[in-house]
Chains A and B, each alone.
Chain A
């Protein structure tokens, strides 16, 4: 756990120390370092084709350690020589940052993860990113994630995020599951800090900035967005955009670093990144070129009208943007989206938002108007009747939270100073209740034997056992959820993880409680990976019969074919399942190599 803690910090520090050779700004150093590492990984990959004896993971580790040491040495030398490296920060500011950390620690560890101890998880998406990072460190690299692992059926981003994720694993040689547990806390803290920075810069008032932080910390977008509590490419891209806009507003003029930042944001997630780039450019033109109050107010009115039009389009119908089967499940009606916002922000959202809107319209603050314009434009996109557009709120939340926080703060500032602390405590209390209920509803179905998690300790143990005993040339088959999780923990390849193709789903359906071991074996051996390089190296096949597998087999045929239906939580194997496993093993066609309450692993 302790090693994973330090490894998680290296996700941020190693790219930062790399970029630090070129700039002292924390954020720009990190972004530049991220781009450098992205290029470096591809360079190492090319080098390995000439020098096959070179170990990819070891080379990454060596470079990371050397670069970090040199950079640290530079920093220390700079401090000793007396350069003004030390950040000047007042006691009051230290107090505020300390308070932010306390709030984040309480909400994250004592509310969000209260029943999800290390190394259990609440984020279903992490397993595909861990799988991709594992593959990258094995030396499989491509600009298209679908060419690295067939878990990816859609190239929504480059492997930028997974490259950054693989660096801590290479350096510390530890399982990414534990590192990720800590990483998501740092991400949450950084979203709060980004919101604070942006709010402080835009609102120029610490009380108001603090109310924005309360909104940012206590609002959890629990459907499709997950900005603050999940670390995935879209949320990282949004966070990067928020910081980029902060530094732009803070009069940073280094165009090269800004271009690097945009490039990294787009590489992290194409859709959210392109939106982020557009928003960045929008801010650039709004705040760098002088705009009159009249022009900005007109733009606010125009954005508001666009929002109304967007709401109106919902009455014409709704459309799926892709032909992916799951798209229809992510095409939400207008009422659903409004309900989600109400769940996330609480019933006070319209009042707080309108108050903030009114304040911004009436004042002369360019930055505030720019925030409102961007917030309205993106929310217009969010409300369009297309699939997946709700995802864009990942970025918009940074702007809407400022408007809402301003509304909350406006009410607070009407009160006498002595009453503000009491009022703020009351505000924190009802936002806390909203957060608690929201995250409870999200986690409710994940409860299993005292924990709230997508995976269990038994599954982790099985995965770790497989990583040590199965070998890299093994191929694992099970139901989509089981193989998705086990592939991430063990590094053993599967066909598609949770995004198993229809052919494999059909095969699994055919062998459901089939009392013909020879046929079962034949069917399983016919499963092949979507990528040829994986099939060439495949030597041994293991079949995992888990509680999840037997539960999945009870789905209807339509549900089995769908990406949307999975056994999301661990299951114990029932008696009928145990009998079937024993039958297969006794046939002599399958050898049991591992067993616990939740799964049996048999070798073909």
Chain B
């Protein structure tokens, strides 16, 4: 009988040790994940074609050589939503909250290490005219050197279109597959005209409220005519260009209930 009691006591002790050891290992592991994600957040991707980095208020794409020349950026302060005749930015505030989901980032990190899939996620939160809005951005590195940008707007307001907006570099020119270079009239100078002629493009003047029609691609070039980026244009998209702020908006009409839009960038 005494042996049985001793055995039971030993079993209980072993059980407690096992539970304590298991909990300790789980806690240490979770803490390691957390600390590593704080130390080196998953806020950047680098490839031969580009570097992308999440900054406090935008996601910036730059060249991957040591010059790190700016290419373009996206921000919830530039993106639009459309509701009836009303149009506004995702988030209007100058500052907005950035949310981190450590569990999601842990899975992304494991996916990156083991499978080599490279993704960035950015969750932001702010007010649109008094209503709380959450927007999620996902940057997916495609193996062919291209990038997919997914925007998801979480809001209760019914919206029928999203304006996916990018800000390009100051010296970048907006063109299409038919070698037309676009300008807003008031910013077209002789210097720009001669540059366009030099690289055998045709200048075209549009207002910032006029959509660029009958194109399948927007091609961003530098002053020498070298292609930097290409944005395929969908049939359900309208493209607008605001030269003052170097903004290109891809207004995408949504199916009912859908608040996700996706955009491909070819480098």
B256 at the interface (CB under 8 A from A): no
B-chain residues with CB within 8 Å of residue A574 when the two chains form the complex: 67
Q: Give the contacts of B36-52 with A (CB-CB under 8 A).
A: 36, 39-40, 46-49, 51
Contact of A430 among B18, B20, B29, B65 (CB under 8 A): B29
- A220 smallest CB distance to B (angstroms): 13
Please state if A423 and B22 are interface contacts (CB–CB under 8 Å).
Answer: yes
Query: A436–B37 Cα gap in the complex (Å)?
Result: 11
B18 adjacent to A111 (CB under 8 Å): no
Q: A414-B20, A448-B66, A449-B65 are in contact. Are A437 and B40 (CB under 8 A)?
A: yes
Provide the bound-state CA to CA distance between A450 and B64, in Å.
7
Q: Is B113's CB under 8 angstroms from A436's CB? A: yes
Contact (Cβ within 8 A) A414 B26: no
A434 CA to B35 CA in the complex, in Å? 9
Q: B32 contacts the other chain (Cβ, under 8 Å)? A: yes
B162 at the interface (CB under 8 A from A): no
Q: Which residues of B contact A411 (CB under 8 A)?
A: 21, 24-25
User: CA A419 – CA B18 in complex, angstroms?
Assistant: 10
Check if A201 is an interface residue, CB within 8 A of chain B: no
Q: Is B7 an interface residue when CB atoms closer than 8 A count as contact?
A: no
Nearest Cβ distance between residue B28 and chain A, in whole angstroms? 4
Q: Are B36 and A433 in touch, CB under 8 angstroms?
A: yes
| Chain A residue with Cβ nearest B63 | A449
The number of A-B residue pairs with CB atoms under 8 Å apart is: 91
Would you call B55 an interface residue if the criterion is a C-beta within 8 Å of the partner chain's C-beta atoms? no
A569 to B65, CA, bound (A): 10
A-side contacts of B66, CB under 8 Å = 448, 547, 551, 569-572
Decide: B48 and A423 in contact? CB cutoff 8 A. Answer: no
In the bound complex, residues from chain B placing their C-beta under 8 Å from that of A572 are: 65-67
Given A433-B33, A433-B36, A447:B46 Cβ within 8 A: yes
Determine how close the nearest CB of chain B comes to the CB of A355; give it in whole angstroms: 9
Given A437-B40, A440-B40 in contact, is the A348-B113 Cβ separation under 8 Å? no
B109 contacts partner chain A, Cβ-Cβ < 8 Å: yes
Complex Cα distance A411/B36, Å? 22
Q: Does B110 contact A (CB under 8 A)?
A: yes
Those of B50-104 within 8 Å (CB) of chain A: 51, 64-67
If the complex has contacts A449-B65, A547-B66, are A427 and B48 also in contact, measured as CB distance less than 8 A? no
- How far is A411 from B18 in the complex, measured between Cα atoms in Å? 8
Inter-subunit contact A415/B40 (CB<8 Å): no
CA distance A419 to B109 in the complex (A): 25
Contact, CB under 8 Å: B21 / A434: no
Residue of B nearest to A548 (CB): B66
Residues of B contacting A440 in the complex (Cβ-Cβ under 8 angstroms): 40
Interface residues of A (CB under 8 A from B): 110-111, 114, 343, 346-348, 351, 410-412, 414-416, 419, 423, 426-427, 429-434, 436-437, 440-441, 447-451, 547, 551, 569-572, 574
Provide a sorted-by-A list of 29 A–B residue pairs whose CB atoms are within 8 angstroms: A110-B116, A111-B113, A343-B39, A346-B32, A347-B28, A347-B32, A348-B31, A410-B21, A412-B21, A414-B17, A414-B20, A415-B21, A415-B22, A419-B18, A430-B28, A430-B32, A430-B33, A432-B113, A433-B32, A433-B36, A433-B110, A433-B113, A436-B113, A437-B39, A450-B46, A450-B47, A450-B49, A551-B66, A569-B66
Q: 6 nearest interchain CB pairs?
A: A450-B48, A414-B21, A430-B29, A348-B28, A437-B36, A411-B21
Q: Which B residues have a C-beta under 8 Å from some C-beta of A?
A: 14, 17-18, 20-22, 24-26, 28-29, 31-33, 35-36, 39-40, 46-49, 51, 64-67, 106, 109-110, 113, 116
